[in-house]
Chains A and B, each alone.
Chain A
Amino acid sequence: MKNHRVIVDAVSKRFEDGTSALEGVTLEIPDGQFAAVVGPSGCGKTTLLRILAGLEEPTSGRVAVATRGGSRDRVAMVFQEQSIYPWMRVRENVAVGLHGLGLDRARAKAKVDEQLALVGLSGFAESYPHQLSGGMKQRVSIARAFASEREVLLMDEPFAALDEQTKIGLQGELLRIWERTRKTVVFITHGIEESVALSDCVYVMTARPGRIHARVEIPFPRPRDVVALRGDPVFGELVVKIWGLLREGMAA
């Protein structure tokens, strides 16, 4: 086995009502890679991520997240919806990610402060979520995931519910934070531009039942500027190429 961090081997998922969400999905994501998965809505992308997170079991096939510990407990997830606890202050929400790390009080506090500073929320540590905007809530969610020190980050359309300006701002911030540690990322999105701007490699899925239709390498060097990148002619070509692949996948 090469240095593969996330392995999805011939995974299929059929729900109780008989709908088939995934069929024979195989992925191998190397250590430190930022991988994006795009596909038409309802193609089972979220199901794939939930299986990776251990929130659902595959009907057949196998997923493995190779870690030093060797357990799936080593993945952190950023959810699409509002997923921070409304009854916890921002600080406590981020600290949820530290659960099980066995840090003492002082080190846990330092860790939370550090992550809050990284996402620009130092001034909101004691606030409750209902006092924050949608973009700020997603930053808390990202801070929680990075605070967990888990080796693989699973992100399920984390910016889907945000307006365009907030979204591009947060894409830049995500990359800036990610550069520091270069954890392996599986980023689910239906935004083609988003997938090209962020990732090293884009997997294109077909319509339901979801299969991997194609894999596209994204050659841009890092660190990247997600705004300037959009002016690069190669960026446009890649977006058009992925569009074409998606259309093929929907027809197939």
Chain B
Amino acid sequence: MSQAWEAQVRRARRLRGIERSLRFVSPVALLLLWEWAVRVHVLDARFFPAPSSVVAGAVSLARTGELWEDLRATLMRLILGFLAGGIPGVALGFSMGVSRWVRAVASPLIAALYPIPKIAVLPLIILLFGLGNSSKIAIVAIGVFFVMAINASGGVLQIERIYLDVAKAYGLRGPAYVRRVLLPGALPSLMTGVKVSLGIALVLVVAAEFLAAKDGLGYLIWNGWQTLQVEQMYVGLVIVAILGYVVTIGLEEAEHVALPWLRR
């Protein structure tokens, strides 16, 4: 009886272990396939340099310090832009979720502005903010703002009515109400918003760095293309991919820790 149970527990743990390790196995398998394809000349090394030579390129860029400089610049824009857009976005979204008046005023504006491709606004942003860091931070902030506002208001609106009634019946108001009821109630939707908007932010920051920057991963890629250094281009691409991967995995782990009541 207890032996059978232990076997079951072991089996469940093993399956969970496999599930987790697959997240590392699948990218590695793809890289190995790629390396092999270049070595047997299925892929043209001029356009698709082998992962090993991309790594070699990354190492030399890292030695000169250029890679870290670009990574640091992009990360800084990403983080500042995310905060500059995310905080007001969540604040507006929460107000929309709580007040039908704010919702009535803000939702048509969001519906009209959200679908405009953010990249299309970049020339205007550069006009307003210049070629420095602030234009890149602004474009990221705009992209993040809408996604977070939409997810925050949706998150509040889908909190079951009974939970709001209980808060009202027991006199939970103001900051305590936001912190103990609205925020945790909307948290799953907020986490989705963070994931989606970080993806968008990465796209926007790289695209903005193509056009108007002297550093950053986007600049690294663009510069690689302009000077026909294909490997440098790939280094930039791979670092962006790794960044996206680390952010996604990191957020999933954070979700697991921050939302213990949703663990199944």
- Interfacial chain A residues near B163, Cβ < 8 Å: 83, 85
CA gap between A54 and B187 in the complex, in Å? 28
Q: Is the CB of B187 within 8 A of A87?
A: yes
A81 within 8 A of B: yes
Known: A85-B184, A128-B261, A130-B261. A79 touches B172 (CB 8 A): no
Q: Which of B40-75 contact A (CB under 8 A)?
A: none
Question: Which A-B residue pairs are the 8 nearest by beta carbons?
Answer: A87-B184, A77-B169, A100-B171, A86-B261, A87-B261, A128-B261, A83-B162, A53-B169
Q: Which of A81-132 contact B (CB under 8 A)?
A: 81-83, 85-88, 96-97, 99-100, 128-130
Complex partner residue of A96 from B162, B165, B166, B185, CB under 8 angstroms: B166
B17 within 8 A of A: no
A188 within 8 A of B: no
Q: Is the CB of B166 within 8 A of A85?
A: yes
> How far is the CB of A74 from the nearest CB of chain B, in Å?
10
CA gap between A120 and B259 in the complex, in Å? 27
Q: Is the CB of A76 within 8 A of B170?
A: yes
> How far is the CB of A243 from the nearest CB of chain B, in Å?
31
Complex partner residue of B170 from A88, A97, A128, CB under 8 angstroms: A97
Q: Is the CB of B187 within 8 A of A99?
A: no
Q: Which of B244-264 contact A (CB under 8 A)?
A: 259-261
B168 within 8 A of A: yes
Known: A99-B176, A128-B261, A129-B261. A87 touches B185 (CB 8 A): yes
Produce 1/0 per residue, B160-181, CB < 8 A to A. 0011011111111000100011
Measured CB to CB, the residues of B under 8 A from A are 162-163, 165-172, 176, 180-181, 184-185, 187, 259-261
> How far is the CB of B179 from the nearest CB of chain A, in Å?
11
CA gap between A73 and B173 in the complex, in Å? 13
- Interfacial chain B residues near A148, Cβ < 8 Å: 170
CA gap between A144 and B162 in the complex, in Å? 15
A-B contact pairs, 6 of them (CB 8 A): A54-B168, A73-B171, A76-B169, A79-B165, A83-B163, A85-B163
Produce 1/0 per residue, A190-214, CB < 8 A to B. 0000000000000000000000000
> Closest residue of chain B to A71, judged by CB?
B171
CA gap between A130 and B262 in the complex, in Å? 9
> Closest residue of chain B to A84, judged by CB?
B166
- Interfacial chain B residues near A76, Cβ < 8 Å: 169-170
> Closest residue of chain A to B183, judged by CB?
A87
> How far is the CB of A53 from the nearest CB of chain B, in Å?
5
> Closest residue of chain A to B264, judged by CB?
A130
Q: Is the CB of A54 within 8 A of B169?
A: yes
A252 within 8 A of B: no
Known: A87-B184, A128-B261, A130-B261. A79 touches B171 (CB 8 A): no
> How far is the CB of A252 from the nearest CB of chain B, in Å?
31
Complex partner residue of A85 from B168, B171, B176, B181, CB under 8 angstroms: B181
A251 within 8 A of B: no
Task: Determine which residue in A79, A81, A87 has the highest number of CB atoms from chain B within 10 A of its CB, and name it.
Answer: A87
CA gap between A145 and B45 in the complex, in Å? 72
A55 within 8 A of B: yes
For the complex with contacts A85-B184, A96-B167, A99-B176, 18 further pairs of A-B residues with Cβ separation under 8 Å are: A54-B169, A55-B169, A77-B166, A83-B163, A83-B166, A85-B166, A87-B185, A87-B259, A87-B261, A88-B180, A96-B172, A96-B180, A97-B170, A99-B171, A99-B172, A128-B260, A128-B261, A148-B170
> How far is the CB of B191 from the nearest CB of chain A, in Å?
13
CA gap between A53 and B162 in the complex, in Å? 13
Q: Is the CB of B162 within 8 A of A79?
A: yes
> How far is the CB of B166 from the nearest CB of chain A, in Å?
5
CA gap between A200 and B181 in the complex, in Å? 36
- Interfacial chain A residues near B260, Cβ < 8 Å: 128
- Interfacial chain A residues near B184, Cβ < 8 Å: 85, 87-88
Task: Determine which residue in B162, B170, B181, B187 has the highest number of CB atoms from chain A within 10 A of its CB, and name it.
Answer: B170
CA gap between A76 and B168 in the complex, in Å? 11
Task: Determine which residue in B165, B169, B261 has the highest number of CB atoms from chain A within 10 A of its CB, and name it.
Answer: B169
> How far is the CB of A44 from the nearest CB of chain B, in Å?
17
> How far is the CB of A136 from the nearest CB of chain B, in Å?
15
> Closest residue of chain A to B188, judged by CB?
A87
- Interfacial chain B residues near A144, Cβ < 8 Å: 170
CA gap between A149 and B141 in the complex, in Å? 48
CA gap between A144 and B163 in the complex, in Å? 14
- Interfacial chain A residues near B170, Cβ < 8 Å: 76, 96-97, 99-100, 144, 148
> How far is the CB of B236 from the nearest CB of chain A, in Å?
41
> Closest residue of chain B to A92, judged by CB?
B180
> Closest residue of chain B to A87, judged by CB?
B184
- Interfacial chain A residues near B176, Cβ < 8 Å: 99
CA gap between A148 and B185 in the complex, in Å? 23
